[in-house]
Amino acid sequence: MNFFTKAFWLQLSSPKTFYPVAGKLTPLFMAIALVLTVVGLYYGFVLAPPDYQQGDSYRIMFIHVPAAWMSMWIYVVMCVFAIIGMVWRTRLSDMMAGALAPTGAMFTFLALWTGALWGKPTWGTYWVWDARLTSELILLFLYFGFIALRAAIDDPQRAARASALLACVGVINVPIIYFSVKWWNTLHQGASVGLTQKATMEETMLSAMMIMTFAFWAYTFAVAFMRVRNEILEREKNSAWVAQTLSGDASSDSVSQDANVGENK
Amino acid sequence: MITVFRCLLWREMTLALRRKSEILTTMLFFVIVVSLFPLGIGPEIDTLREIAPGVLWVAALLASMLSLNRLFSDDYIDGTLEQLIISSQPLALLVFGKILAHWILTGLPLVLLSPVLGMQLGMDADSIVILMLTLLIGTPVLSLIGAVGAGLTLGVRGGGVLLSLLILPLYIPVLIFGSGAVESAQAGLGVEGHFSLLGAFLFASLVLAPLGAAASLRISLD
């Protein structure tokens, strides 16, 4: 398993090779996600000090901001997978794009929902039609459109390519969401954390937020791998290795094990 | 190339004018939807004047969207679309010709009908002029972006409603700035910013949408 050869990584683009790898990585990432969530929420809910303006109600930020970051990032990653699938015609890239979409939609909904819950005590309203909230809502609709188009077309390859094109058309929305607080007068606050500037946030709060972000990433990995495994089985159901894998799983039941005891596996 | 473009445009217009009912249905839909709002909200003219830009723009959006299905479906069914794709002419150009014909037949009538409906909702003359200008710039954008969606949902079950779900999120910026411009004009504020963005949308989609629609047709037909 030489990680430094190109061949090793290229091999992973075959659904047959990736299926067991994804199977092994899923519980690992789930465990990481759980641990990081517990640590992050402890930092955020217990260790971080109350905000001087908002008191304790700001603590929903530790779910809201990572969810919003994930919603935008997953869309970009989905778009990258879609482009790779369109250009290099690799099936697994299409499957990964499809696997990421529901998680992205979930995070977008979570960001909007937690944002609304946060908005009521601080802004006095659950919702306002400013640039950032509206463009995040558009993102949610774009995710739904992606999933709907994929589901509506029967031929999996045509479905993947059509939804890939749709994702690429919609990706223009992500920078709009990101820069909306700079370009427009919005009610939503501006960026306090950036790649090029020093954070204007207190350290424990920042650590808690970053830990939660990594927790959500790990969760996304785990769930996307689970979903892509299902997708692989569904798409490759006519191939021999899938039949073998499925019958292999079935024969590990205790009922059939006695009957198979004399066979060479 | 120009000859082909002119030929295609002429063909589209001729075919559509042979079935005038399709064009008239779109226009009637626009009129009826706008007329529903005073009936639903009440005839208080100040309220109507306030909501007029939004109502007119949403109705134009919906009318534009409803006619998109017919952009490619007839040619898809009888095989002409396949011939267009495998022809030696650049598909983006041919698609642009179809989109232009579609806009002349469905978008332009909306622009021309809007003054009457604006007066019906109590708008003043200056705002109506701004409304017509925003629709003039905005409806081509709707046709262009819609063509990409129409190409993607070609021959798909439940294509009409699915097309709406796919296209409406992409229409939202055009709607926001189009009706925003008219609202600004009604309030006496400047409209340059809105028009700049609408113009930007128009030019960006003029360049990119035919390519995107051509790609979507190739995806749907191969």
User: What is the complex's ipTM, to 2 decimals?
Assistant: 0.87
A4-9 mean pLDDT: 82
Residue A38, pLDDT > 60, answer: yes
> How far apart, in Å, are the Cα atoms of B134 and each of A163, A188, B73, B180?
31, 29, 29, 10
Q: In sequence order, what are the residues at sequence separation of 6 or more whose Cβ sits closer than 8 angstroms to the Cβ of residue B212? A: A165, A169, B148, B151
Report the range out of A238-242, A253-257, B204-208 with the highest average pLDDT.
B204-208
Q: DSSP assignment, residue A61?
A: H
- pLDDT for position A26: 94
Q: Which of B165, B173, B216 sits opposite A145 (nearest CB)?
A: B165
Supply the mean pLDDT for chain A: 85
- pLDDT for position A196: 62
Q: What are phi and psi of A51, to 5 degrees?
A: -70, 145
Q: Rounded to an integer, what distance in angstroms lies between the CA atom of residue B13 and that of residue B105?
A: 8
Residue A3, pLDDT > 80, answer: no
Q: How many CB atoms neighbour CB B175 within 10 A?
A: 17
Q: Rounded to an integer, what distance in angstroms lies between the CA atom of residue B219 and that of residue A92?
A: 18
Q: Which of A149, A158, A161 sits opposite B166 (nearest CB)?
A: A149
Residue of chain B whose Cα is closest to the Cα of A173: B170
Q: Does B148 touch chain A (CB under 8 A)?
A: yes
> pLDDT tens for residues A223-233?
999 999 999 99
Q: What confidence tier does A28 reach under pLDDT thresholds 50, 70, 90?
A: very high
> How far apart, in Å, are the Cα atoms of A88 and each of A13, A91, B7?
11, 9, 36
Q: What residues of B are in contact with residue A155 (Cβ under 8 Å)?
A: none
- pLDDT for position A263: 46
Pairs from A59-64 (Cβ < 8 Å, separation ≥ 24): A60/A114, A60/A117, A60/A118, A61/A118, A61/A205, A61/A209, A62/A208, A62/A209, A62/A212, A63/A110, A63/A114, A63/A212, A64/A110, A64/A111, A64/A114, A64/A115, A64/A118
Q: Which of B158, B165, B216 sits opposite A144 (nearest CB)?
A: B165
Question: Containing domain of residue B55, as a range?
Answer: 2-221
Q: What confidence tier does A260 reach under pLDDT thresholds 50, 70, 90?
A: very low
Helix (H) or strand (E) holding A71: helix A61-88
Instruction: At A149, list the tokens.
Output: 């188009």
Helix (H) or strand (E) holding B19: none
Residue of chain B whose Cα is closest to the Cα of A153: B156
Residue-level pLDDT, tens digit, chain B, 222 residues? 889 899 999 999 998 888 888 889 989 999 999 999 999 988 888 889 999 999 999 999 999 998 898 889 888 988 999 999 998 889 999 999 999 999 999 999 999 999 999 998 989 999 999 999 999 999 999 999 999 999 999 988 888 889 999 999 999 989 999 999 999 999 888 889 899 999 999 999 999 999 999 999 999 987
Q: Rounded to an integer, what distance in angstroms lies between the CA atom of residue B95 and that of residue B98?
A: 5
